[in-house]
Amino acid sequence: MKTIIEPFKIKSVEPLRFTSREEREAILKEAGYNLFNIQADDVLIDLLTDSGTAAMSAHQWGGMIEGDEAYAGSKSFSRLEKTVKGLTGFRHIIPTHQGRAAEKILFNIVGGQDKIVPNNTHFDTTRANVEISGAEAVDLPVPEGLNPTLIADFKGNMDLDALESLLQRKGPEQIPLVMLTVTNNANAGQPVSMDNIRKTAQLCRAHGIPFFLDACRFAENAYFIKIREPGYEKKSIREIAREMFSYADGCTMSGKKDGLVNMGGFLAVNDDQLARRARNILIVTEGFPTYGGLAGHDLEAFARGLDEVLEEDYLTYRIRSVSYLGKQIDQLGAPIFQPPGGHAIYIDAKAFLSHIPPHQYPGQALACELYLCGGIRACEIGSVMFGKTDSKSGEFEPARLEMVRLAIPRRVYTQSHMDFVVECIEAVFRKRDKIKGLHMVYEPPVLRHFTAQFESL
C-alpha cells in the first residue's frame, strides 16, 4: 500500500491557530527574524525540533497517574531500571532530567585538560560538555557522510581508519572513551551500521579504551539496520537494539527522542567505579539516584515509552513518513540532504538560495520564508549556528553546510500536515530568486542562534 497510515487513533487533540501572512510578517519582524523568539501559539506546524515534542500514548498518560513519587526507592524507577537493563544489558542505570545532564556527569569524570574524545559527530551539547571539561571533541565522520547528494545506506558511520590512526597516536592515556552517536543527528540524522558499531568497538577494545553510544535515537537506528543491512531482515528491533548496546561499555540517552517522553534521560555504564562517581555527582546536581531530576510520573512514562518505541508498526510509520516528506520535496526539484534520515529532512539552503552568500545567511532566510508562507517553524543549521567572525581580522568564516532542518515530532502530525508543508516549500521554491538575505544586527557571545537578531536586506 502506498498510503502511510498512522498506527494509532487520535484520542486527544490540541487546536492549531491560523494566522494571516500580514500577522506573520509583523510577528517575524518583532522576533528579529529569529524563529526561537516566536510564541508557539503563532506557529502552525512546529518542526523546530523532534526533542521533547512527542505525543505520549494513552498507556503512558495512564502511567503518569500511577507514577510513584517516593523520594527514595520509587517503584517507577525500578520499572525504568528493569526496562533499560533488559534493553541495554548495562549494569548501572543513572536517571537524569535529560541527555545533556548525563553528558555533563560523564565528561566531568572522564574529561579534562589534554584529553581527546572522538565521536562520529558530536551533537552540540555533547561537544559543549566535552569542551567545558577542558577536553577536545574530535569528529570523525565517514567522507561520504559529508556529501549531501550521495545516496548511501549508512552515511552516519564513524571513519574507522581515522579512528584507528588517532587511537594509535594518542592511546588510552589521552582518550578516556570513544563515542558513537546513533543516529548521527549532527550529520542529518543518518544511521550507523551494525558493522560499523562492531568494528568501532573492536578498535576500542584493542586499544583498551571504553566505547560509549550516544543512544538518543537508538530505535530509529535499529530500524534502518533491519531494512538496510544484510542479515538483520528477520531480527526484531529489540534484538537489533540489544546487539547494538552489547558492543558498548555504556551510553548516554535523551529520552526526549526515542524514549517518547517530553522530559527524561539516563547515563548507563558497566564500570562499578564510574557508576559510583557518577551517582555522587548526580546527588549534588540532579537528585537521589532513584529519581535523578525526574518526577516519578516521568520515570513511569519513560519506561513505557522505551517499550512502545520498539514496535515495528510505529517505526515503519515513523521512518516512512520522514522519507515521504523528503521524497515530495525532492520531486519539486528542491535540494535536500540525501537520503532522508531518521528524524528530520535537511534542506540544502546553499543550493536552494544559491544567490544568497553565506554571510547573508541563506538558511535563516529560507527558514523565515517558510514561516511567512505557512506558519511553519524550522531550524537553521548553517552559518548562524556554526559560522564565526574572526574578532581580529573581522573576516567571516562560514559553516561547512547551510541547512534548514525540518525535524518531525513523534506521533504529532499526520500526512496532510506534511502535504501542507510540501505545498509551502513548493511556493517558496517557485519564488526563490526574489528571496533576500539577512544581516545579523545582534550577536550574543555563545550559542548565538538562540538569541541573535536580524534585519532583512
Ligand X SMILES: Cc1ncc(COP(=O)(O)O)c(C=O)c1O
> Which residue has the CB atom at the shortest distance from ligand X?
99
Burial readout 17-35 (b: 16 or more C-beta within 10 A, e: otherwise): eebeeeebeebbeebbbbb
Asked if residue 119 binds ligand X (CB under 6 A), the reply is no
CB of residue 13 to ligand X, shortest distance in Å: 26
Please list, in sequence order, all residues whose beta carbon lies within 8 angstroms of the beta carbon of residue 430, skipping any fewer than 6 positions away.
none
Which residue stretch of 123-131, 233-241, 352-360, 394-402 sits at the interface with ligand X (rule: CB under 6 A)? Answer: 123-131
How many residues lie near ligand X (CB under 6 A)?
Answer: 14
Asked if residue 51 binds ligand X (CB under 6 A), the reply is yes
> Which three cell numbers mark 140?
570523525
Asked if residue 256 binds ligand X (CB under 6 A), the reply is yes
Please list, in sequence order, all residues whose beta carbon lies within 8 angstroms of the beta carbon of residue 53, skipping any fewer than 6 positions away.
46, 256, 262, 409, 410, 412
Which residue stretch of 97-105, 138-146, 305-313, 411-419 sits at the interface with ligand X (rule: CB under 6 A)? Answer: 97-105
CB of residue 126 to ligand X, shortest distance in Å: 5
Of these, 34, 53, 74, 126, which contacts ligand X (CB under 6 A)? Answer: 126
Residue closer to ligand X, measured from CB, 49 or 290: 49
Please list, in sequence order, all residues whose beta carbon lies within 8 angstroms of the beta carbon of residue 379, skipping any fewer than 6 positions away.
35, 47, 48, 49, 367, 404, 405, 407
Contact 123, 102 (CB under 8 A): no
Contact 145, 190 (CB under 8 A): yes
Of these, 98, 190, 221, 364, which contacts ligand X (CB under 6 A)? Answer: 98
Residue closer to ligand X, measured from CB, 302 or 454: 302
Please list, in sequence order, all residues whose beta carbon lies within 8 angstroms of the beta carbon of residue 412, skipping any fewer than 6 positions away.
53, 54, 55
CB of residue 268 to ligand X, shortest distance in Å: 14
CB of residue 343 to ligand X, shortest distance in Å: 8
Asked if residue 254 binds ligand X (CB under 6 A), the reply is yes
End-to-end CA distance of the chain: 47
Under rule CB under 6 A, which residues in 259-278 are in contact with ligand X? Answer: 265
Asked if residue 123 binds ligand X (CB under 6 A), the reply is yes
Distance between CA atoms of 140 and 267, rounded to whole angstroms?
A: 23
Asked if residue 214 binds ligand X (CB under 6 A), the reply is yes
Neighbours of 9 (CB within 10 A): 6
Asked if residue 346 binds ligand X (CB under 6 A), the reply is no
Binding-site ranges for ligand X (CB under 6 A):
51, 98-100, 123, 125-126, 181, 185, 214, 216, 254, 256, 265
